[in-house]
Each structure stands twice: as C-alpha cells, then as structure tokens.
Structure 1
Amino acid sequence: MYNPKLMRDIQKLGFAVLDLNLYLDTHPDDKKALSDYNAIQCQYEKKREMYEMNVGPLVNFGMSPSKYPWQWLEGPWPWEHE
C-alpha cells in the first residue's frame, strides 16, 4: 500500500545523499561529510527497500530486485500517486 510519508522521507534522504555526494566530489577528505553521507545513504536504502517491499520498484538500472513477473512495467508509477 502506498505511503506518502514514506515517499517523502525517501525524497528527502535522496536529496541529502546526492547533495553530499556532490560535495564529496570536491571535498574528498572531509571525514564528517563522509560519515554523514554513509549514515544518510544507509537510511535511504532502508526506506527504499521498505517502499519496494510494500509498493513495488522505485528505481531501475540494477538497483531494485523484481518479483516475477518483471514489476517495472506494472503501475502505478511512483509519481502517479496522489
């Protein structure tokens, strides 16, 4: 069942981990930023897995396992929920 709070949490964590990823590209020796990145990435992965177990695949390109039959084509798409 779709959970809008879970989706919002995934979006927030995804933004934060991407932002830290970009920061670390130019500040690779920042231990605090790397620690924050690893912690947030772990939270993101747990929330994403929770979403996928209850709703369906969220991302493609080898990041999401699929049940049989191939779920990526099944709707609704993550952005189609209201």
Structure 2
Amino acid sequence: MKQLPPEYYTELEEIQAVDFVIVELVLYLHTHPDDLEAVKQYNEYVKLSKGLKKEFEKKYGALTSFGYSYARYPFDYKEAPWPWQV
C-alpha cells in the first residue's frame, strides 16, 4: 500500500468528525423538527462537510464511488488505500 502524508489522516478524521455531528443533528431533528437553531447548525455542517470533501478529493482522490464523486484521469479509484482502509 502506498505511503500517505500525515495530513491525509488529519483531514480524513476532520471529515469523519463533521459527518458525525451531522448524524447527531439529524437524530435530534427527528424529534425536534421545529428547532430553528438546530436546522441552521445542520446546514452549516453540511456545507462544511461538502467543502472538506471537495478539497480532500482534489488532493487524494475520490472518497466514494457510484456517482457521488468525480473521477480523475487516469481513473484512479482502484488505487489503494481507500478511505475505509486507513
């Protein structure tokens, strides 16, 4: 498996942390749908997550497949490690 720089892991962990907050907010909003501040916070974290993922993919390649991420040329999605392998 190819060697990855330390910032790969730091940036991937940041994405995971932000996405965890999104999941927790969704669970909260299921029982508190009228909480405007929670909805605002959810939208802020979704925007943050999308930006972090876009920058990550520019540097290191796709985080997912199946049409959620653009491909690079030459197609490199088969190259290890995949995010779930680190």
What TM-score comes out, normalization by structure 1 length? Answer: 0.82
Structure 1 distance, partners of 2:68, 2:26, is 17
Q: 2:63: which partner in 1?
A: 58
Q: Distance in 1 between matches of 2:26 and 2:76?
A: 29
Residues 25 and 71 (structure 1), Cα distance of their counterparts in 2 relative to 1, 3 Å cut: farther
**1:44 corresponds to:** 49
Corresponding residue pairs, total: 81
Which of the numbers 8, 11, 29 marks the counterpart of 2:16? 11
- 1:35 equivalenced with 2:34 (yes/no): no
Q: CA shift at 1:22, angstroms?
A: 1.9
Opposite residue 20 of structure 2, the aligned amino acid is F
Counterpart CA distance in 1 for 2:19 and 2:25 is: 10
Q: Distance in 2 between matches of 1:62 and 1:30?
A: 33
Superposed CA RMSD? 1.7
Aligned residue for 1:13, secondary structure, equals: helix
Higher relative contact order (CA 8 A, sep 6+): 2
Any unmatched runs of 5+ in structure 1?
A: none
- Name the % identity: 35
